[in-house]
């Protein structure tokens, strides 16, 4: 079976990686750019997918062991422990290493002509085409803007900082980086507002400013037909913007469905990932409007930070939600 994957991000490459060496399956990844890992990202990868991708020592910039939460500039939680919550990875290096062992065609932008996929003027012939082309394939109203500065500010390599605001559905972040820090912000506002809001947090010498949109409305139900995975399917946690780990998990579900001849939609809908993405999206959509946003902010700031972390990471059950929000979601 010839499988064409559109997009060489975490979803597309993880899928190809998981299918590598499987008899009767040939996977080709078509990447529009001349390299992988170009998309702006803060490189935070949470625990849980180490056995799915070849995560090597040299890809790991640092291990995250603590987080701080600020509200309107004041610190609310400062949690540090010995336990690793996740990593800052050199995502471009990790993706490049994976791609070098896979069949990836670069400068191969895939576009649709009369309902058929084309690479330049040539029709893309495959038994199955899977779109893993990220936010680029989503309508604008399913995404929000995110911008980021790369600076040499010496952020503690083990600590990630989150800045919440009582008037913004979204947040700013300061993550450690090889060079110093990645300082960014994303949410339901225009780029000028986000840039102004971020100004006081930008410290150090800026070497790069970039941005992209990020999916913020959860899984796109009508794309659950086995032809989409990763952010193109909406696999980003709406409350946190975390998309690398969920995209890799969606690729795993896709690979297993194909290998075991199962229905992707059924398998995906059974997964913990589907349920947790849905809950995140509902919390965000229920928090639009000043009063509702203030309500959510209060809940997040006053609750046990370990519980907030569980929910943020998508690792919760209904009882956790009841404890956090005082109600169930569905």
Binding site for ligand FAD (CB under 6 A): 6-12, 30-33, 36, 39-44, 109-110, 132-136, 146, 148, 184, 212, 214, 230-232, 236, 241-245, 247
Q: Which residue has tokens 């700013």?
A: 172
Using an 8 Å Cβ cutoff, are 7 and 134 in contact? yes
Instruction: Name the minimum Å distance from CB 37 to ligand FAD.
Output: 7
Given the complex with ligand FAD, which of 41 and 94 has the nearer CB atom? 41
| Min separation Cβ 69 and ligand FAD, Å | 16
Cβ proximity to ligand FAD: between 18 and 325 the closer is 18
The angle subtended at Cα 250 by Cα 257 and Cα 182, nearest 5°, is 160
CA 97-99-102 angle, to 5 degrees, is 120
The count of C-alpha atoms lying within 13 angstroms of the C-alpha of 29, restricted to the half-sphere facing its C-beta, is: 31
Shortest spacing between CB 197 and ligand FAD, in angstroms: 15
Enumerate the H helices of 27-183 as residue ranges: 91-100
User: Which CB, 7 or 325, lies closer to ligand FAD?
Assistant: 7
Looking at beta carbons only, is 129 or 299 nearer to ligand FAD? 129
Residue least distant from ligand FAD (Cβ): 243
Residue nearer to ligand FAD on the CB measure, 44 or 325: 44
CB 158 within 8 A of CB 63: yes
Q: How far is the CB of 215 from ligand FAD (least distance, A)?
A: 7
Question: How close are the terminal C-alpha atoms of the chain, in Å?
Answer: 39
Nearest to 187 by CA among 178, 197, 179: 197
Contact by Cβ (8 Å): 102, 76? no
Nearest distance from residue 239's CB to ligand FAD, in Å?
Answer: 12
């Amino acid at each position: 079976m010839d499988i064409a994957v559109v997009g060489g991000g975490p979803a597309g490459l993880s899928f190809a990686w998981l299918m590598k060496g499987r008899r009767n399956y040939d996977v080709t990844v078509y990447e529009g750019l001349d390299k992988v890992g170009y998309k702006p990202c803060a490189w935070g990868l949470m625990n849980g997918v180490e056995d799915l991708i070849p995560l090597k020592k040299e890809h790991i910039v640092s291990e995250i062991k603590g987080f701080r939460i600020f509200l309107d500039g004041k610190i609310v939680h400062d949690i540090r422990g010995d336990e690793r919550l996740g990593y800052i990875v050199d995502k471009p290096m990790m993706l490049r290493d994976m791609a070098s062992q896979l069949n990836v065609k670069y400068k191969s932008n895939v576009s649709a002509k009369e309902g058929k996929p084309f690479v330049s003027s040539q029709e893309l012939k495959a038994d199955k085409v899977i779109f893993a082309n990220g936010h680029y394939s989503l309508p604008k109203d399913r995404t929000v803007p995110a911008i980021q500065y790369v600076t040499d500010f010496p952020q503690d390599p083990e600590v990630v900082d989150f800045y919440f605001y009582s008037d913004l559905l979204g947040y700013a972040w300061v993550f450690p980086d090889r060079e110093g820090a990645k300082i960014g912000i994303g949410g339901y506002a225009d780029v000028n507002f986000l840039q102004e809001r971020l100004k006081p947090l930008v410290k150090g010498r800026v070497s790069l400013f970039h941005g992209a949109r990020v999916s913020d409305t959860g899984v796109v139900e009508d794309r659950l037909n086995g032809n989409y995975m990763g952010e193109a399917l909406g696999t980003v946690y709406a409350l946190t913007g975390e998309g690398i780990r969920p995209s890799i998990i969606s690729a795993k579900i896709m690979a297993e469905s194909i290998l075991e001849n199962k229905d992707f939609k059924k398998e995906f809908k059974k997964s913990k990932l589907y349920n947790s993405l849905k809950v995140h999206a509902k919390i965000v959509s229920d928090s639009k409007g000043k009063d509702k946003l203030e309500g959510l902010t209060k809940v997040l700031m006053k609750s046990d930070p370990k519980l907030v972390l569980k929910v943020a990471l998508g690792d919760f059950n209904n009882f956790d939600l009841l404890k956090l929000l005082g109600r169930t979601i569905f």
